[in-house]
Structure 1
Amino acid sequence: MWAISIRYHLLTRVLLVLGFNLSFLNSGLNKLVPGLWMSMSSRSSSRITWLRFEAVVCDHGLEADVVTSNTDAIPRRHFYICQVRKEDDCKFFRWIDPSLSPNQEYFLKKLKMDVQRALRDRVAMQDALDESVRSKTAEVEALQGVVADLHRQNRNLKVAIRILCIVIWILT
């Protein structure tokens, strides 16, 4: 059981650091290993209940909550905080996960920049496509006007030909 928990913890840590959304694991994994994972998210952190390797007790003598950071500066890093921090303004805090190495930070920043560049390129391409669609729509509307004019001219010419045919028939 502990081996599964350790492997799962390491795998999810790597996937979370890379930015994968693992919320789909919530229900399926609980069926395999009950109580392994439950979460409640907020803007800058998520509260997670993991099978713990050690019970950490805060300054109030309570078991500390495990929380995951969701900030850009410290992405998806787990830490302990006091359960009653809001009521008692407790400052208890301890990191669980080690910080990223400089090499990991470099590649994480590089991946984020690559994603941002790809998003900018996608937005630029979408803008170009939208402009092309607007241009083609205006062109189609102009051509529809030309077609309507040609239909009108064609109708007028048919009427003129009929009148000429009647005049020629009367004169002959």
Structure 2
Amino acid sequence: MSTPASTPTAAPRRVGLYAGTFDPVTVGHLDVIERASRLVDRLIIGVAHNPGKSPLMPLDERMECVREALPAIKARTGGDMTVVSFHSLLVEAVRANGATLIFRGLRVLSDFDYEVQMTGVNRRLDSAIETVFLMASERTQFISSRMVKEIASYHGDISEFVTPYTQARLLARLAERAG
């Protein structure tokens, strides 16, 4: 008597979401995207609407800046990455995109304090969603979108902090605002 062959079960896909306002997307954000993409089968980059932060760049432009940077990352990692926008709580965006992991980048201790609070709230809202913290690399831990915008507003060189595409978009927005 023969036993039936077992049917191989496909391993569940690990899907993560890395969210931010990305106003503008910096090389620090891109570093986290690249590293996170190596840890999951699919990475979704969620660009938050977040009108409370009064972003300089409109949502579609922030999304385009992220999209423009992805081919180089995909070439290095082979990762499956998608850019989406969301106008909801983060856990709702995670659920809506079929993810189970939230990636968060940490630069300094003050980031950790805020992120621990957010993780606790997100855990209360959906205990099935895990948060993974990635420490910023030494070369990017001092970079923030706010600082990049400030340097650019004083005509400083931001070329080492953002991609050329993002730099052009950001400088165009600042020029519009100035005049």
> What TM-score do the two structures reach when normalised by structure 2?
0.26
**TM-score normalised by structure 1 residue count:** 0.27
The structure whose RCO (Cα within 8 Å, separation 6+) is larger is 2
* Bigger CA radius of gyration: 1
